[in-house]
Structure 1
Amino acid sequence: MNLRPLFAPQRSVKALGRLAAACLVVALSTASVSAAVGTPIRMAYLQNDLHHLALWVALENGYFTDEGVSVEVAGVFRSGPELMTAFGAGALDAAYVGEAPATIAKVRGTAQIVVLAQANTEGSALVGSKALAAGTVARPTLAIPGNGSVQDFLLRKALPLLHLTPEQVDIIVVSPPEMLTSLQAGQIDGFIAWEPYPSRAVAQGIGTVLSSSADIWPDHPCCVLAATTTLVKDRSQEALALIRAHKRATAFIREQPDQAVAIAVKYTGMSEAVVRLALPHVTYTETPSVAGEEQYVNFLNSLGVIKVDDAGGFTRDFIATPLRDAAAK
């Protein structure tokens, strides 16, 4: 049998050279991608919270990868305080979370975080039974998701609309998923919560919207994209990438509402009808509400939940404005 060498003598060196060059290109490309992506950012959000739609859009559309950052979902939590505990334990790098628990944790020092961007403003509503709407409940029992929450503030501002004072009602804490069953069972007369829970109550015939948060406190801040100070300090380029991806996702929600609805349905498991009913009540924005945060800090001060001597100074420290300015360039 006549055996021939795989490569002719003169061509083998050239072929091997080309092969080595190709391998080098692949190696350099892989190294470049690895350097760009790096260690994944551990991200979290709240279960079924439509205010966090921008995160889901960014994940679905690959915006984080486009911006050169790797993001992994490290937790889906039922409440903001629970999520903040994970921040404090060092289990998270960033999260979409309510401005209320983030503010309280920042002041108390239980989580070292800053706000990278607003996730939304408005997007909550006061829901009541027919009797409450008719004004026939002598002493209403009203539910809020947490003491000192944005919804707590909203309820106290809304009571005059019901011709009530804080002394004339019983305010209790109930988790939003349980508010609907509690209202249906007559255990509470009303509640205030973020979307989609008000829209679910309406769709299921459990309650009626008495007032939207846009009417109670126009343009009020609600949820934010927060990150640890360690991430901002040691991985500033990735923090910038988070802001840019979030901005793209927020624009997508405004420009492609039907596709945004489909993504919301996927991540919440709720019906398209409920999502479509809820989304118009949420204002998606990436620009933090500085004035709104200061007003909220003053409210928490008045309740004795926190003690901040300079609300303006705290807000300037809490919102990462220099980093946001860099991301905009």
Structure 2
Amino acid sequence: MHTASRPTSRSIRRIAGTFLCTTALTSVTACGAGTTDSGAGSGGGADDPHIRIAVGVDAGYAPFFVADAEGLWAKHGVDVDLVQFAKGGEGVDALNAGQVQMAGNSDVTTIGLLAQNPDLRSLLVYEQSGRYLKVVVRAGVKSPDKIRKMAVVPGLSELATTRFLESKGIKPDAVELVVADPAEIPALTDKGDVDAYVLWEPWPSKGKALGERILESTGDYGFSYQHWLLSTSPWLKDHKSTAVKVAAALEEAAEKTESDPRSAAQATKDAAKIPTDQTMKAVKDIDFGVRDFTDKDLKGYDDTADFYLSTGKVKARPDVSRTVQRGWLPENTKGS
């Protein structure tokens, strides 16, 4: 069983594959559910609240790694262990099970998980981009209308793929969608098992190195994503002050990521083994910055919820309005 217990020598752990706690559904306490410990994970003070935050393993999570490397968690009075997952959705599952207390994840993937995670709460946006995800086609595919199979990762990749096909006048049901893990997809495309994919870096660059062609970015057809800082309503009820400290540290870290990409790249390499050039490119493609939600954001989230309902992936429309805590950030952090 994979666990999210605190590392003894580093404050970052990688969990590749599905996060699973066999007792989570019947005895969440056995998995440390909903706890906020005291102790020193990333160099916080002895009295600082200790929490675990789920992150992914790509350059899009650079602000979390910067906060760790620069001692920003401790500066803002919180002691943090970062727990890495191969896919953001697995981190959300761990959040729901109480293995972690906060998480970073894309808006699209999170909205698709709301049915099984009704207590999820989104506190703020810390990045957005229409350039980081790219459409890649295998050698020999001359135009989008020649695509017959596309590899997808459920959530963000799948919706970006659907919007790509729609933008080219291709009915989504005319193309077979093959579900795969991100790391497998460039090789599947190279072998001809699929014709194309829409993914975040580094997988488009990996595909290009294999002779595949980057066709365009998602922003070229009007699609972008955001990343949310997530928690759950039961935990937030008793730990709002801790969440505020995390938000403040993340805000400073996002600013540092934008202003000093080289330092962000080094922190990401040290934490997640991502080559520095990949993070440097990512910082150019991604707009990092902590902010509250806007009317335009909410409309986009509603469109995403409609997508999940229309495809039959959920039985009821995801309740985005309950999840998104508009106003939480300015009410709790401005002037603090």
Would the TM-score normalized by the shorter structure come out above 0.5? Answer: yes
Match of 1:165 among 171, 175, 197: 171
CA RMSD of aligned residues (A): 2.4
Deviation for aligned residue 1:327: 1.2
Alignment of 1:202-241 (within 5 A): 202=208, 204-218=209-223, 220-241=224-245
Find the residue that maps to 1:71 and give its secondary structure.
strand
Distance 1:163 1:293 in 2: 23
Find the residue that maps to 1:182 and give its secondary structure.
helix
Q: Is 2:333 aligned against 1:323?
A: no
Cα 1:104–1:169 change in 2 (3 A) is: closer
Distance 2:287 2:302 in 1: 20
Deviation for aligned residue 1:33: 4.8
Q: What residue number does 1:44 align with? A: 54
Distance 2:181 2:54 in 1: 19
Match of 2:94 among 75, 86, 98: 86
Contact 1:45 1:96 in 2 (8 A): yes
Q: How many residues align?
A: 285
Find the residue that maps to 1:321 and give its secondary structure.
coil
Mind listing any 5+ residue stretches in structure 2 that lack a counterpart?
1-43
Cα 1:263–1:174 change in 2 (3 A) is: same
Find the residue that maps to 2:140 and give its secondary structure.
helix
- Moved beyond 6 Å, runs of 4+: none
Cα 1:154–1:105 change in 2 (3 A) is: closer
Q: Is 2:188 aligned against 1:179?
A: no
Deviation for aligned residue 1:160: 4.4
Q: Which moved more, 1:120-129 or 1:236-245?
A: 120-129
Distance 1:94 1:142 in 2: 32
Distance 1:323 1:34 in 2: 28
Distance 2:46 2:237 in 1: 21
Deviation for aligned residue 1:145: 0.6
Cα 1:275–1:207 change in 2 (3 A) is: farther
Find the residue that maps to 1:291 and give its secondary structure.
helix
Q: What residue number does 1:27 align with? A: none
Match of 1:265 among 262, 269, 281: 269
Give the aligned residue type for 1:251.
Answer: E
Contact 1:145 1:151 in 2 (8 A): yes
Higher-helix-fraction structure: 1
Find the residue that maps to 2:113 and give its secondary structure.
helix
Deviation for aligned residue 1:185: 1.7
Distance 1:328 1:200 in 2: 41
Mind listing any 5+ residue stretches in structure 1 that lack a counterpart?
1-31
Find the residue that maps to 1:130 and give its secondary structure.
coil
Deviation for aligned residue 1:69: 0.9
Distance 2:240 2:104 in 1: 18
Cα 1:137–1:300 change in 2 (3 A) is: closer
Contact 1:51 1:119 in 2 (8 A): no
